[in-house]
Amino acid sequence: MHAKHMTALCLAATLAGVTACGDSDEPQSAAGTAGGEKQVTIYSSQPLQGATREQAVSVINGEKLALEQHGGKGGDCRVKYVALDDSTAQAAQWDPAAVSANARKAIKDSAAVAYLGEFNSGASAVSLPILNEVPLLQVSPSNTYVGLTKSEGAEPGEPEKYYPHGRRTYGRVVPADHVQATALVSYMKAKDATKLYILNDKEVYGAGIARNVAAGAKAAGIAVLANEAIDTKAANYRSLAERIQSAGADAFFFGGNTYGNAIQLWKDVYAANPDIKMFGPDGVAESTFFAKVGAPGRNTFITVSTLPPDRYPPAAREFFSAYESAYGKKPETYGIYGYEAMSVVLDAMKRAGDCTDREAVLEAFFATRDRESVLGTYSIDNDGDTTLTQYGGYRIKDDELVFDRVLEAKGL
């Protein structure tokens, strides 16, 4: 990245990849710079420690690239970009206290117009009510838990409990889990799954996708033998794997993330059930999983909303090329969603009229219609969800995630 853009983005390269400046807790002002330009702040909150670090860095790099390509501006406002870490070394994943601190930092900044995050749905369940009180626009590049925006397939009281202000302030550029669950079930049917054993990690995202898959599988005529929560700190899952074998399951699904001990789970289930078809959601669609899972990978089928470059419009192919040129490697699966999360916010700022006006930017985001983007053409509905309905089905080959097929979930 050119040096002249680094000042505008307010980031410096470190071993962690994304050390942010401007971290003071002091409230800031939306006043113009010395040059007379209006300046606003866009915050990003991602887990930079633990199994999802590479995904998080890729998301941030995508956001930085989008801002650079827009000249560091949204409308006629110069954007100060501040990347925050919502994880801790002790947790090795997102941490509620860190998430809360990030959200409160953003709401103290009177120049803030948007907050990009979180990576994990459970983390957004923490930050969303805080940001909603302001209200401040929040756009996630990766959350899929349906209960953040819709009641169907969610827990009682969702999504209303996340919106104490009473209005919607949260949106996402990735299709939610009611779409992913439909894609997963269609994948299972295509692979002739008949008896499904479901496990989940008890988190907001994991339990949610497991619940939606269970309902979808039953409706599709697949016998659901169980939907059980696991101890993600267990040393092994051999007894559980034997229970799956005794139940006669020919398919297995885990609702959860890589950091939920997914690799150990996969290995133990496979050891006891070498012919079982193993299905995972986007929570395991990352290099820390598929590059290390080993032999079970040959039986594994994973869904993630990201598609190969040739399945996207030309703008996406330009993104992939620009990303690799800027960062020296291909993006992780959610890099393109980080790029689009920033891009749609900058577009909302442009359409808002006054790019310093939080309310106007919020309204402009929810007014997004027929947006032609790197992901394809989509709108944002009244709940804050994208109208995109495609997921990709992937296999693991030679420790890489390899595209298998498009899974379409229209009509939802």
The per-residue pLDDT for range 350-367, each reduced to its tens digit, is 999 999 999 999 999 999
pLDDT attached to residue 412:
55
Q: What is the pLDDT of residue 106?
A: 98
CA distance 181 to 16: 34
* C-alpha to C-alpha distance for 347 and 344, rounded to whole angstroms: 5
Residue ranges making up the domain that contains 102: 3-175+310-380
Report pLDDT for 16: 36
Handedness of CA 160, 161, 166, 167 (dihedral sign): negative
pLDDT of the residue at 102: 98
- The one-letter code for the residue type at 117 is G
The SS3 of residue 139 is strand
User: Are residues 202 and 61 located together in one domain of the fold?
Assistant: no
Does one domain contain both 24 and 171?
A: yes
Q: Tell me if 350 is assigned to some domain.
A: yes
Say whether both 142 and 78 belong to one domain: yes
CATH number for 371: 3.40.50.2300
Q: State the average pLDDT for the chain.
A: 92
Please indicate, yes or no, if residue 256 is contained in any of the structural domains. yes
Please choose, from the candidates 301, 313, 288, 309, the residue with its C-alpha nearest in 3D space to the C-alpha of residue 251: 301
Are residue 375 and residue 344 in the same domain, yes or no?
yes
What is the H or E stretch that residue 28 is in? none
Q: Is residue 386 part of a domain?
A: no
Residues 32 and 53 in one domain: yes
| CB 259 within 8 Å of CB 252 | no
Residue 278 counted as domain residue:
yes
352 inside domain = yes
Angle at 33 between CA 118 and CA 57, to 5 degrees: 25
Q: What's the CA gap between 380 and 353, in Å, rounded?
A: 19
Strand 87-88 vs strand 93-94: parallel, antiparallel, or unpaired? antiparallel
Q: How far apart are CA 15 and CA 354, in angstroms?
A: 37
Let me know whether 321 and 292 are in one domain: no
User: What integer pLDDT is reported at residue 358 of this predicted model?
Assistant: 97
Is residue 174 within 8 Å of 140, Cβ to Cβ?
yes
State residue 3's pLDDT score: 34
- Asked whether residue 167 is domain-assigned, the answer is yes
Co-location of 23 and 170 in the same domain: yes
Q: How far apart are CA 207 and CA 149, in angstroms?
A: 16
Q: Is residue 66 part of a domain?
A: yes
Looking at residue 33, its pLDDT comes to 53
Task: State which amino acid sits at residue 228.
Answer: E
Q: Is 103 exposed, middle or buried (0-12, 13-18, 19+ CB in 10 A)?
A: buried
Examine the domain organization and report whether 209 and 137 are in the same domain: no
* Residues 45 and 115 reside in one and the same domain: yes
Q: Tell me the three state secondary structure of residue 403.
A: strand
As to burial, measured by CB atoms within 10 angstroms (0-12 exposed, 13-18 middle, 19+ buried), residue 110 is middle
Question: Are residues 261 and 236 in contact, defined by beta-carbon separation less than 8 angstroms?
Answer: no
Has residue 385 been placed in a domain?
Answer: no
Whether 187 and 298 share a structural domain: yes
Same domain, 190 and 89: no
Residue 144 burial (CB < 10 Å; 0-12/13-18/19+)? Answer: buried
Quote the CA–CA distance of 176 and 389 in Å, as a whole number.
9
The whole-number pLDDT of residue 5 equals 35
Do 341 and 238 lie in one domain? The reply is: no
How far is 322 from 333, CA to CA, in rounded Å? Answer: 15
Q: 236-253: buried (b, 16+ CB within 10 Å) or exposed (e) per residue?
A: ebeebbebbbeeebbbbb
Pair 187, 390: CB distance under 8 Å: no
Q: Determine whether 35 is exposed, middle or buried from the number of CB atoms within 10 Å of its CB (0-12, 13-18, 19+).
A: exposed
Number of domains forming the structure of the chain: 2
pLDDT reported for residue 36: 76
CA distances from 321 to 288, 314, 325 (A): 23, 11, 6
User: Which structure tokens are listed for 91?
Assistant: 């947790």
pLDDT less than 50: residues of the chain? 1-32, 34
